[in-house]
Structure 1
């Protein structure tokens, strides 16, 4: 198998450095144009809830003991599913007069359960930051009403209400451009090596000895007029 030295690799890259520069720059510029002018910014906000124990569970003792805490933590996933149930989503859509289907609503709303706690985080992503806040807070309100009625929960309250985000979570132009630059650089190197591999022309005296296995008797210099 033919071996190529590191020196030869650098020589190949240096010979076609303009190709590397051009592809890398085009990749960065394309990513920047798409990120700044084509992709629609999306904003994220969240409301944090803490859910207490159901009225019918646990002891009658008013003091919350360790078993009650464990029970609450086990029930948190159930509450999380309730947040995204049609019972809640349909009422939120109706209250806010949203032009959304239940499926579209579910794509905007994510329920994040904080491990080993009684905390539920209702996260909402939308192109309109004000609408994201409204959906997040209204979902929390409807959920609190529903969980009290359906599951007889004693204590459910909002810890943090949603606030209007100042910056979008995506697109992230700088990150996208950096990634595009790296990919463009790697693609350009791949293209250069592919071209070099497919190029079977003889360019130097060394190529004659290397590929034709013939001795070099002499060379004719290139004399300019």
Structure 2
């Protein structure tokens, strides 16, 4: 008897899950206009942003870090020390002092924090090389600022570490092509965001809408099972038919 009760309860729970899924589907069907109306302006804004996004150019330079020890051959400990210096120097390259001097020289309309976000510093794996890159809307300015950052970085290392063990391997040159704008990704993101926003608004409307749509809603409120339903009758139509 207990097993039967458990099975009935389990069936009832699974049936409720199925009903809830069906309710969600019908909610999306009922509120499709709301979802579409929320998606349209979001997609339009995403499209406008994608086509009006300015071109960004990136220039990069390559630096090499050595431990400063003279010698023809390097052992594993020397290479390990140089790689640790690379990590340390990567942090120095974004110091406020360096960024402030570069901003002052080229009269950049940015704060050191904003300029720091436009600079990327990467370590070439298993090497003593540092890749320093800067991106902006002007390719000539990108080249000049990148090379100046490298020069200021080398000076700063000499002041802090008292050694000149950083050298330029490859200077930055003026970039000819801008970075990819990734317009397709922007449009896809706007479609997804618009759909999620529309579904959220539709769900909020459904939550605030207290109209009972089916007998199951009444059963949940009253806690009893409905025995039958009375069909809707149009009395005016019935009276008209009798008079004829």
Please give the TM-score of this superposition, normalised by the length of structure 2: 0.68
SS in 1 for 2:177: coil
Matched, 1:20 2:35: yes
Aligned residue in 2 for 1:166:
177
Report deviation, 1:91: 5.6
**CA distance in 2: counterparts of 1:6 and 1:124, whole angstroms:** 50
Q: Bigger shift: 199-208 or 158-167?
A: 199-208
Which consecutive residues of structure 2, in runs of 5 or more, have no partner in the other structure? 1-12, 238-244
Q: Which protein shows a greater Rg? A: 2
Return the structure number with greater relative CO, CA threshold 8 A, min gap 6: 1
- Choose 122-131 or 75-84, whichever is displaced more: 75-84
Q: How does the TM-score come out when normalised to structure 1?
A: 0.73
Inter-CA distance 188–69: structure 2 relative to 1 (3 Å threshold): same
The 2-side partners of 1:109 and 1:211 are apart by: 61
Is the contact between residue 83 and residue 127 of structure 2 (CA under 8 Å) also seen in structure 1? Answer: yes
Cα deviation, residue 53, structure 1: 2.7
Shift of the 27–214 alpha-carbon distance from structure 1 to 2, 3 Å rule, reads farther
Unpaired runs of 5+ residues, structure 1, are: none
Alpha-carbon deviations, 1:144-201, whole Å to 9, x = none?
466568643467232463441522466x433222112112112212222222232222
Q: Alignment RMSD, CA only? A: 3.6
Greater share of residues in helix: 2
- The alignment of Structure 1 onto Structure 2 pairs a total of residues equal to 216
Alpha-carbon distance in structure 1 between the residues aligned to 2:190 and 2:27: 23
Change (3 A) 1:214 1:141: same
Residue number in structure 2 paired with 1:30 = 45
Aligned partners of 1:78, 1:68: CA distance in 2, in Å? 15
